[in-house]
Amino acid sequence: MIDFDDLSDAFSGQTVLCIGDLMLDEFVYGEISRISPEAPAPVIAVQRNETNVGGAGNVARNIAALGARCIFVGLVGEDDAGERLRTTLSRERLIEPLLISDPVRPTTRKVRFVSEHFSTHMLRADWEMAAPASGAVEQALIDAALRQLSRADIVLLSDYAKGVLTVQVIRSVIDAARRLGKRVIVDPKSANFGIYCGATLLTPNRKEFADATRSRADDQPSIAAAAREVMRLADSDALLVTQSERGMTLVPREGDVIHVPAHTVKVRDVTGAGDTVVATLAVSLAAGADWETALRTASAAAAVAVGKSGTAIVTLAELRRNILPPASLAAEEKIAQSTGNLDRHLTAWREQGLRIGFTNGCFDILHPGHVKVLTGARAACDRLIVGLNSDASVRRLKGEDRPIQNERARAEVLAALEAVDLVVTFEEDTPMNLIERIKPNVLVKGGDYSLEQVVGQELVTARGGEVVLIDTLEGFSTTSLVKRAGGRA
């Protein structure tokens, strides 16, 4: 198993070439309270509507939401829906859209009417031409994809059977990818898995798999037996069957079957959940994940997606919150990454009428003396912010051989303490600018300082705040610890 922090850090360096059926997803939310007097049909009182990039476009957006780059090859008509998709995708920083126009077909568009209160779909209206692309359009799709293959770390074919992934497009892309040593993931729609011959991984859902293999697919042994037969015919390395609340079962050509249970979540809408799964699989595998790690990561992403309404994307931050242990997240979320993040905390705490405290230091090697001051500081306020000297600031104050630990490591150790509510790094030699920004109700330092030596005390007391000095523990200091360890202070 690969550490998720290492894996997610690698996401941003990956490029996925995604080819598939693009569509415009629209959701009309409202409630039904009466029957039309014109016909025995319910009338929906519309409350709001949303428009999203759907189909393979949602796969591309999920790839980008995880921090990876997506080169997306798709097809649109020369109509308003197509123009809306072009405009929306062009605004996505990590998506490079290569859209082919077909003047004789409409852009695939789906409008869903949804009960706002119950989150249930009542009706769907489709505009589409589910026919294979014409010869000229087909060749344009092939040319666009093959020109980008060398740039991709992995290839993903998202088949919605709307005409983009013709047999010739599929064959051309898979064969070219194999010649370049690129792995190919296919989210199939055709029941003839043979047309995807040579793909690294096929990811049908349970119904698609049962239809294609004419098997029950109701337990792991039956899935494994049917999958291995399919893989022999399709020359694939693995086959993944997604089974909604039953989880996911991966059957590799070699090795044991891997089953990952589904997360227990409240399902709001399953629209696009499969897109999230294949996008996360592609990015994870490209970043170096093994099969099990990629599956567990995709399962966690799916759990986030089904908890949202409409065609949803899952961000890396949301995935981290669902996959990392609560203690790890608690520490990570207590480190202010920007002044905006600090201001949001301050605004929320002030709106709640909370008393905000502040203390600061280098905290190079955390010891009991630090812990006593921090605990005492937290007792004097409702929320404690700790100002942390940056690495450059510590070097200026302590010498070139300090700090012992870099600022990220020092911040994480501080954030893990229950007494600390937020850690903010500052670059200056003193925290004066930070104190002016925070305007704390309480300013705290160790008792080895006199009141006059406390930076910012005049500012705090002038605003009616309080300065608190905490008695320190004798015999504890970072300098003495460094000397004892044989280092230089």
Environment class of 325 (CB within 10 Å of its CB; exposed 0-12, middle 13-18, buried 19+): exposed
Annotated catalytic residue 275:
yes
Environment class of 256 (CB within 10 Å of its CB; exposed 0-12, middle 13-18, buried 19+): exposed
| Residue 288 in tokens | 């170096």
How far is Cα 94 from Cα 234, in angstroms, rounded to an integer?
32
| Residue 84 in tokens | 């809306």
Residues near 237 by beta carbon (within 8 Å), at least 6 away in sequence: 200, 201, 231, 252, 253
Q: What are phi and psi of 170, to 5 degrees?
A: -60, -50
Residues near 249 by beta carbon (within 8 Å), at least 6 away in sequence: 220, 223, 224, 240, 241, 243, 257, 258, 259, 260
Residue tagged active-site, from 159, 187, 275, 421 = 275
Q: Is 439 left (phi over 0), alpha (psi -120 to 50) or beta?
A: left
Per-residue burial over 199-229, b if 16 or more Cβ lie within 10 Å, else e, is bbbbbbbbebbbebbebebeeeeebbebbee
Report yes or no: 71 and 98 within 8 Å, Cβ to Cβ: yes
Report yes or no: 179 and 171 within 8 Å, Cβ to Cβ: no
| Residue 400 in tokens | 């070139």
Q: Report, as residue numbers or ranges, the catalytic residues.
A: 275
